[in-house]
Amino acid sequence: MEKIAVARKEPAVGLDIGRHSIKAVWAKFSGGKPYVTRAEILRLPSETADVAGLVSSWIENIGLTKKRCVIGVPALQTMFHPLLFQKEDPRTDDQAVEIEVLKFNELAHESMNYGYVPIDTGDEARRVLLVLARPSVLDEVLSMPQRLGVEVVDVVPAPFAFFNVLSRQFSSETSPILFIYIGHSSTEIAIGFRNSLLFARAFSCGGAMFTDAVARALKLPWAQAENLKLKEGSLKGDKPYTRFLTTVADTWISSLASALSVYRSVFSEQSFQPSRAVLCGGGAYLDGFAEYISQKLNIPVDVVAGFTTSRRVELDNPAVFTVAAGLSLTTSVESVPVVSLLPEAMYNELMFKRQKPFWIAAGITASMILSVSLWGGHIEFKRNELALEQQKRKLSELQKLRDEIENLKAETDKVKGISEPIILTARFTASLYQFINLLGKVKTESDWITLITDAQSYMNRRPATTTVRRGVRDVRRDTATAKEPNWLPKRTIIVEGYTSKYNFSTVDSLIRELKQAPFVASADLLSDDRIAQETPQLTPKRGGLKRFVLAVELR
């Protein structure tokens, strides 16, 4: 049922393809009533071998090539199954229908195409009309339209088509109406009211049976008997073939009664019994047949009166075009709910064709958006690239400035390193003079003084030291350039010398004498780890001497 939404609101031609004729109708609803704008029919001669070529030429002549068409499926090739659900049944219609379809699939040993429509009975009962068809049947139905090059937008069971047309002519009826379509080799019935189809069925009795009766009675060729039946055939009077026609009519009525008995088994209430019947199809024009059916069913029987048509359309036998007109009207939003048996593959292809322009438009729009985004991104990238280049230039200038500052700082430190000892020496020259005099007086003959210098100069003489530890990388520190910790006061004098006393007794005496001087703040031996390496030029030639280094802080 949902598939028909693909075709709604878009006009299509109703194409009723039979074994002996093909009808094409262009129709629409006008003021709630069917309005036929064009109708064409092609009668197929039985002796023509090239039927496909004849039909193809006809399709091309009437301009149907690649046009949207709705195809009908004969009721004999489908199965109509009304379903009644209990009020307390928690399942949705879809769920309940799927379970029923699974049962039919198991019986048929194949996956059936199906669709359903709700049945509006005006009460609280939940009913649906399920329609099923074998895929092979649909393939056969669609084979000719596909060869003819028409665009099939839907496949609708024939009972829905003629019910769609005729129910509008009896919209004021409150009881169900029996619609009977008498075709060439079969008869299809549809019972419904309030724009809701209740029941549909078909049986293999059609107008050909009456033609056979005339041919047997008069011993005529079948084609002549058909023409005679159409022109003079009647169930009235005492013509030679009337008795034969009546016999066939009785057989037809028996088949109709069997179909109606099935309907009554499903809809047994009196309110659901048909109050009248309407005939359509070519067999509806058999003289006296409507009265005969009315007498047997005991209800009024009418032949379809016709359709409202444009001035260019003249329908002498409108009942023949009932199915084709109904198929064309199924594409209208005013159509009654109908079942679509369009195969899934064709449905998907139709959806693709329908949505293709939107997808193309969406693709173009997306491409434009992407192009704008890429162009905007390119502009933003160039802007950021320019800003980055400016930042790089500024950073390079800052780097150069930093290098200049570092070089200037290094030069300043070098000058400071050279000038600082001189400045310090100049500041305490008098104290240094007194210290040297004192040192000369208190020093014993066992001691030799080889170096007197300021602490800063002495520390700058210290060589690079290497510390090696297992499992740890070598750590080398250049004492000439490393920043020394502030462990010596600036007014410190380093005194380096040698003593012949291994116990450093004379050195201890020297330290005590120095400490007593008023201009000496402190005096002590310098630790071994802070002593610079010996200077070969200052080392005495005499052996057996011990080296000592004193750190003396002047006031």
Asked if residues 231 and 317 have their Cβ atoms less than 8 Å apart, the reply is: no
Domain presence at residue 453: yes
Query: Residue 109, SS3?
Result: coil
Domain presence at residue 354: no
Asked if residues 120 and 91 have their Cβ atoms less than 8 Å apart, the reply is: no
Last residue of a domain, one of 324, 342, 360: 342
Domain of 4: which CATH number? 3.30.420.40
Question: Both 36 and 171 in a single domain?
Answer: yes
How many Cβ atoms are within 10 Å of 297's Cβ, its own excluded? 17
Q: How many domains does the chain have?
A: 2
pLDDT of residue 421: 66
Q: Tell me: the pLDDT tens digits for 226-264?
A: 888 888 888 888 888 888 999 999 999 999 999 999 999
pLDDT of residue 316: 77
pLDDT of residue 425: 65
Interacting residues of 52 by C-beta distance below 8 A, sequence separation 6+ = 144, 147
Name which residue leads in pLDDT, 19 or 134: 134
**Reduced to 3 DSSP states, what percent helix, strand and coil does the chain have, rounded to the nearest 5?**
45, 25, 30
Q: Report residue 424's pLDDT band, with 50, 70 and 90 as the boundaries.
A: low
**Rounded-to-10 torsion of CA 474, 479, 483, 484:** 110
Q: Tell me: the pLDDT tens digits for 192-215?
A: 987 889 999 999 999 999 999 999
> DSSP alpha helices (H): ranges in 428-517?
429-442, 455-460, 505-516
What would the two tokens of residue 339 be?
């079942």
pLDDT of residue 4: 43
Domain of 518: which CATH number? 3.30.1360
Q: Report residue 323's pLDDT band, with 50, 70 and 90 as the boundaries.
A: very high
Among 129, 133, 116, smallest CA distance to 82 is for: 129
Q: Report residue 440's pLDDT band, with 50, 70 and 90 as the boundaries.
A: confident
Among 101, 9, 18, smallest CA distance to 320 is for: 18
pLDDT of residue 487: 53
Domain presence at residue 506: yes
Name which residue leads in pLDDT, 79 or 121: 79
Q: Which of 34-48, 74-88, 233-247 has the lowest mean pLDDT?
A: 34-48
Among 161, 201, 179, smallest CA distance to 280 is for: 179
pLDDT of residue 306: 77
> DSSP alpha helices (H): ranges in 428-495?
429-442, 455-460
Inform me whether the pLDDT recorded for 2 exceeds 70: no
pLDDT of residue 477: 42
Question: Both 61 and 208 in a single domain?
Answer: yes
Asked if residues 341 and 113 have their Cβ atoms less than 8 Å apart, the reply is: yes
What would the two tokens of residue 491 be?
């007014």
What is the arithmetic mean of pLDDT over 508-517? 89
Domain presence at residue 398: no
Inform me whether the pLDDT recorded for 278 exceeds 90: yes
Q: Which residues of 8-45 are buried (b: 16+ CB within 10 A; e: fewer)?
A: eeeebbbbbbbeeebbbbbbeeeeeebbbebbbbbeee
Domain presence at residue 206: yes
Q: What secondary structure, in 3-state letters, does 124-188 show?
A: CCEEEEEEEECHHHHHHHHHHHHHHCCEEEEEEEHHHHHHHHHHHHHCCCCCCEEEEEECCCCEE
Domain presence at residue 375: no
Domain presence at residue 349: no
pLDDT of residue 317: 84
Query: Residue 205, SS3?
Result: coil
pLDDT of residue 521: 87
Last residue of a domain, one of 342, 375, 390: 342
Q: Report residue 478's pLDDT band, with 50, 70 and 90 as the boundaries.
A: very low
Q: Which domain holds residue 207?
A: 1-342
Last residue of a domain, one of 342, 364, 391: 342
How many Cβ atoms are within 10 Å of 385's Cβ, its own excluded? 10
Q: Which of 73-77, 256-260, 412-416 has the lowest mean pLDDT?
A: 412-416
Inform me whether the pLDDT recorded for 49 exceeds 80: no
What is the arithmetic mean of pLDDT over 115-131? 87
Q: What secondary structure, in 3-state letters, does 11-34 show?
A: CCEEEEECCCEEEEEEEEEECCEE
pLDDT of residue 74: 93
Inform me whether the pLDDT recorded for 386 exceeds 80: yes
Domain presence at residue 140: yes
For residues 161 and 301, give the distance between their C-alpha atoms in angstroms, rounded to a whole number.
20
Q: Which of 42-56, 216-230, 414-428, 529-543 has the lowest mean pLDDT?
A: 414-428
Residue in this structure with the two tokens 């009525």, named with its chain if needed: 253
